[in-house]
Amino acid sequence: MKQLPTKKLSSESRMAYALLAPAALFIAVFMVYPVLYVILMSLFKTNKLGILQNFIWFENFVKQFQKAVFWEVTGRSLLWTVLAVLTKTVLGMVIALCLNVEFRGRKFARILFIIPWASSVPISSMLWKWVYDHEFGLLNHTFISLGIMRHPPVWTGDPFWSFFACLWVDIWIGVPFMALVFLAGMQSVSRDLYESAEVDGVGSWGKFFYITVPSIKQIIFIATLLSSLWTFNDFNTIYILTRGGPAGATDILITSIYKNGFEWLRFSDAAVMAVITFMILMVVSIVYARVYFRGGDEAL
Amino acid sequence: MKKVFLVAALVLLLVTSVTFGAGQKEAARPKVTVFWALYDGLTEEYRANLQSAFMKEYPHIDLDIVPIPWDNVYDKLTTAMAGKNPPELCVIGTRWALELLALDALEPPEKYVNKATMDNIFDGAKEAYIGGTLWGLPIAAGARVLAINTDLTDKVPQTMEQLREFALEAQRRTGKYGLVMPGKKHTELTDFLYYFYSNGGEFFEFKSDGSFGKCVINSDVGVKALEFMVQLATKDKVVPAGYLSQTRMESHPVFYAGDAAYVMIGAWADSALEQAGAKFKVKYAQIPGFAGKKSAPLMVTDSLAFFKDAKYKEEAGLFVDFFYRDEWKAKFDELIGFPPVTKSAATLPQFQTPLYKALGDAAANAKPIPLVEGFAEMTDVVWDAVVMAYLGQKTPKKALDDAAREIDAIKASYE
């Protein structure tokens, strides 16, 4: 009788599994279990400590979808993400192009640009909170002193301006990352391509659109995906600046999740919004991955 | 090579276990954790001195007084409770006691605190009586008063209408703001309740059994109070221009800087003014009622609560006895500016100032915040209504009508 071949792990594989086990356990306990518990909370009625009570299927979802404020907050989250990521990508690209040019003090300029991203987000947000302060803030003081505006708006108290004030802080913090990633990509593009293009009489715009962008296309994809995920969930900036106000004008899904879960102890409602956030970001990631890998196949 | 790697991993594991074990041994002493809400005026020096003095007297007990901004205490407490790791003690807004009781989280302090300490506390300050049991020791109990910057005005208004008139006059004459009024949503609803209570407003109807019925903040008195606030802010412009971006803690520095004539404030006023280095003189008066209405200032009490699932409650009781001694509690009261809740401290000379006299007078007519489940969410709803009225997105009547409906729905969800 023929003997079926047995799969035996080599000693190296066994070692690899053994060394990965602690990290895997950590991820299972501190990431997988909380995610699964949140999904369960969205399907159960919970008490004020988030302990599951009764299984109610999708009743929590139906209740949430019937609230106008849920759709407002979701729409605002998408708008927030699109505007912030777009601006960060464009500004990041411009800064990367500037930093890619040889000039005196380039190293120092690169260090300066990293500072907003290297500082902690809450610290940066608190700093901008003071910059925006109507009575004592640097921004209004500058505008009034220079005669640019005599009556500047209440940046974090006006429904229109508060959204853009928060958006700007998120952009300010996130641009250095984009710039550095794009710069790293640009530095790996062969100089020969640019030299050939120059010989052929291609101008700066042409070099940018036909050499630089295609060469760093994959990096742009990855950077914008990461930025989208981080921006969609940017809790610190909004919470510190406006706490979602005034009158909900800057509330996005993540701040709404916090309010429902930790201020009002409505864990089921918070869990529903968390699951929906998870699904939105999963869809975005899948779309990105398909475009990215299809681009990789075409390159082959 | 593989063997070397394996040995290195084992050594690392061993070192980590020994260090952890040593840490565990060190932590074998009972550890009392106190969640310490940061009142205006309360200094880090006081907290550190209290902690070290207690541990000097009780060297077998480890004490950790964890300072937390007021706005974050509720979140931190519920997170600790959800993680089955509540503190032994926490400073709570007395209005939270109902919700904490519904979670079966509290334990009566009488089980752990000395009778002498309990007897030294004024009975009138013990607000956390629910169902005949006291669920928290009063740590701060104070009404609110009107503070007047006498460099800008010395007029004492007898009605809200007069307050408006005097604030406008002071603004026109001095170029400073007439009145401080925060307009940004925050944890406390006090800045709406000042005007609401001054017009005789009630949050809820009372049923025949004394329990709360329908929400009535949208009654005529409520609407008039909110219309008055909107007028002060948007038509008279007598409050700081950036009021919509200022919580209470962010707006009061405008008064401390001498840039406003009037502010409604609590017992921390003297302490906060001293810390801000204010150079002007301040007079205190009652928050007036609207014309024809009696002054009904807000009374806010906070309590120190014991948590059922905490481990070292006996030791926590020792800390409470230590803290309520005059040398510590009186100093605490002085720093935060609240009138003393203990009988022995009330006779001390530092509590015989004009501010304390005004607070004592205010307490006679003061009204507390209603003790009802879900009040944190209701606070949010009312604040949204107030801000929408300020922004002109809704009329005060519509804003309060919508808010009352939402509040009834919140209340019903807890019944």
| 3-state secondary structure string across chain B | CHHHHHHHHHHHHHHHHHHHHHHHHHCCCCEEEEEEEECCCCCHHHHHHHHHHHHHHCCCCEEEEEEEEHHHHHHHHHHHHHCCCCCCEEEEEHHHHHHHHHCCCEECHHHCCCHHHHHCECHHHCCCEECCEECCEEEEEEECEEEEECCCCCCCCCEHHHHHHHHHHHHHHHCCEEEECCCCCCCCCHHHHHHHHHCCCCCEEECCCCCEEEECCCCHHHHHHHHHHHHHHHHCCCCCCCHHHCCHHHHHHHHHCCCEEEEEECCCHHHHHHHCCCCCCEEEECCCECCCCCCCCEEEEEEEEEECCCCCHHHHHHHHHHHCCHHHHHHHHHHHCCCCCEHHHHCCHHHCCHHHHHHHHHHHHCEECCCCCCHHHHHHHHHHHHHHHHHCCCCHHHHHHHHHHHHHHHHHHCC
Spans of all domains in chain B: 29-142+300-359, 145-296+373-413
Measured between beta carbons, the chain A residues lying within 8 angstroms of B388 are: 247
Measured between beta carbons, the chain B residues lying within 8 angstroms of A126 are: none
Smallest CA–CA distance, residue B225 to chain A, in Å, is 19
CATH placement of domain B145-296+373-413: 3.40.190.10
Residues A159 and A38 in one domain: no
Determine, yes or no, domain membership for A4.
no
Residues 6+ apart with CB under 8 A from A241: A125, A128, A129, A132, A156, A162, A165, A166, A169, A250
- For residues B10 and A195, which has the higher predicted lDDT (pLDDT)? A195
The residue of chain A with its CA nearest to that of B76 is: A262
* pLDDT reading at A79 higher than 60: yes
Predicted local confidence at residue A299, as pLDDT = 44
Determine, yes or no, domain membership for A3.
no
Strand partners, B149: B282
Measured between beta carbons, the chain B residues lying within 8 angstroms of A156 are: 184, 245
Residues A37 and A67 in one domain: no
* pLDDT reading at B65 higher than 50: yes
Measured between beta carbons, the chain A residues lying within 8 angstroms of B246 are: 134, 157
Determine, yes or no, domain membership for A2.
no
Of A19, A156, A263, the CB nearest to B245: A156
Measured between CB atoms, does A66 come within 8 Å of chain B? no
Residues A40 and A103 in one domain: no
CA B115/CA B95 separation, integer angstroms = 25
* pLDDT reading at A7 higher than 70: no
CA A269/CA A60 separation, integer angstroms = 7
Q: Among the listed ranges A5-9, A75-79, A206-210, B201-205, which one has the minimum average pLDDT value?
A: A5-9
Reading the block at residue A228, the tokens are: 């989208």
Determine whether the interchain pair A157/B79 forms a contact, defined as Cβ–Cβ distance below 8 Å: no
CA B215/CA B374 separation, integer angstroms = 13
* pLDDT reading at A300 higher than 50: no
Residues A267 and A216 in one domain: yes
The residue of chain B with its CA nearest to that of A258 is: B75
* pLDDT reading at B18 higher than 70: no
For residue B21, what pLDDT band results from cuts at 50, 70 and 90? low
Q: What is the mean pLDDT of residues B226-250?
A: 94
Bond before A246 cis per omega within 30 degrees? yes
Residues A18 and A147 in one domain: no
Smallest CA–CA distance, residue B241 to chain A, in Å, is 7
Which residue range is the domain that position A41 belongs to?
11-55
CB pairs under 8 A between A and B: 84
Predicted local confidence at residue B355, as pLDDT = 87
Number of domains in chain A: 2
| CATH code assigned at A174 | 1.10.3720.10
**Chain B residue set in contact with A, beta carbons under 8 Å:** 2, 5-6, 9, 74-75, 78-79, 81-82, 99, 102-103, 183-186, 240-246, 250, 254, 259, 374, 376-377, 380, 384, 387-388, 391, 393
Residues A184 and A239 in one domain: yes
Predicted local confidence at residue A114, as pLDDT = 86
Determine whether the interchain pair A157/B184 forms a contact, defined as Cβ–Cβ distance below 8 Å: yes
Predicted local confidence at residue A166, as pLDDT = 97
Of B186, B376, B391, the CB nearest to A247: B391
Determine, yes or no, domain membership for A1.
no
Predicted local confidence at residue B58, as pLDDT = 96
* pLDDT reading at B154 higher than 80: yes
Determine, yes or no, domain membership for A187.
yes
> Rounded to whole angstroms, what are the CA distances from B142 to A250, B180, B209?
34, 20, 28
Measured between CB atoms, does A80 come within 8 Å of chain B? no
The per-residue b/e assignment along A225-239, b for 16 or more CB within 10 angstroms, e otherwise, is: bbbbebbbbbebbbb
| Element holding A166 (H helix, E strand) | helix A159-187
Q: Among the listed ranges B26-40, B47-61, B399-413, which one has the minimum average pLDDT value?
A: B26-40
Q: Count each helix (H run) and each strand (E run) in chain A, helices first.
A: 15, 2
CA B91/CA B68 separation, integer angstroms = 10
Residues A140 and A198 in one domain: yes
**How many other C-beta atoms can be found within 10 angstroms of the C-beta atom of residue A242?**
27
Residues A41 and A188 in one domain: no
CB-neighbour burial class of residue B323 (10 A; exposed 0-12, middle 13-18, buried 19+)? buried
Determine whether the interchain pair B240/A248 forms a contact, defined as Cβ–Cβ distance below 8 Å: no
Measured between CB atoms, does A15 come within 8 Å of chain B? yes
Reading the block at residue A101, the tokens are: 């040019």
Measured between CB atoms, does A17 come within 8 Å of chain B? no
The residue of chain B with its CA nearest to that of A259 is: B377
**What angle do helix axes B313-323 and B44-57 make, rounded to 10 degrees?**
120
Predicted local confidence at residue B350, as pLDDT = 87
* pLDDT reading at A293 higher than 90: no
Q: Which of B245, B410, B414 to mutate to test the interface with A (most CBs of A within 10 A)?
A: B245
Measured between CB atoms, does A19 come within 8 Å of chain B? yes
Q: Find out whether A238 and A166 touch, Cβ atoms under 8 Å.
A: yes
Fold for the domain defined by B29-142+300-359: D-Maltodextrin-Binding Protein; domain 2 (3.40.190)
* pLDDT reading at B4 higher than 70: no
Q: What is the mean pLDDT of residues A199-210?
A: 90
Determine whether the interchain pair A247/B254 forms a contact, defined as Cβ–Cβ distance below 8 Å: no
Amino acid type, B79: T
**How many other C-beta atoms can be found within 10 angstroms of the C-beta atom of residue B308?**
15
Q: What is the mean pLDDT of residues A275-282?
A: 95
* pLDDT reading at A2 higher than 70: no
Determine whether the interchain pair A157/B243 forms a contact, defined as Cβ–Cβ distance below 8 Å: yes
CB-neighbour burial class of residue B205 (10 A; exposed 0-12, middle 13-18, buried 19+)? exposed
Determine, yes or no, domain membership for A161.
yes
**Same topology between domain B29-142+300-359 and domain B145-296+373-413:** yes
Of A47, A49, A245, the CB nearest to B184: A245
Query: Which of A187-191, B120-124, B226-230, B264-268 shows the highest mean pLDDT?
Result: B226-230
Residues A108 and A147 in one domain: yes
Predicted local confidence at residue B155, as pLDDT = 96
Closest to A90 measured CA to CA, from A257, A241, A227, A204: A227
Determine, yes or no, domain membership for A105.
yes
Q: Find out whether B178 and B168 touch, Cβ atoms under 8 Å.
A: yes
Residues A42 and A76 in one domain: no
Measured between CB atoms, does A134 come within 8 Å of chain B? yes
pLDDT, tens digit (0-9, with 9 covering 90-100), for B85-136: 999 999 999 888 888 988 899 999 999 999 999 999 988 788 888 878 899 9
Determine, yes or no, domain membership for A169.
yes
Mean pLDDT of chain B: 90
Q: Is B93 left (phi over 0), alpha (psi -120 to 50) or beta?
A: beta
Determine whether the interchain pair B384/A243 forms a contact, defined as Cβ–Cβ distance below 8 Å: no
Determine whether the interchain pair B246/A157 forms a contact, defined as Cβ–Cβ distance below 8 Å: yes
pLDDT, tens digit (0-9, with 9 covering 90-100), for A38-57: 999 999 999 887 889 999 99
Determine whether the interchain pair A157/B99 forms a contact, defined as Cβ–Cβ distance below 8 Å: no
Q: What is the mean pLDDT of residues A204-212?
A: 91
Return the residue matching tokens 């502010």: B263
Residues A215 and A114 in one domain: yes
Counting Cα atoms < 13 Å in the Cβ hemisphere of A146 gives 8
Residues A183 and A37 in one domain: no
Of A50, A245, A262, the CB nearest to B75: A262
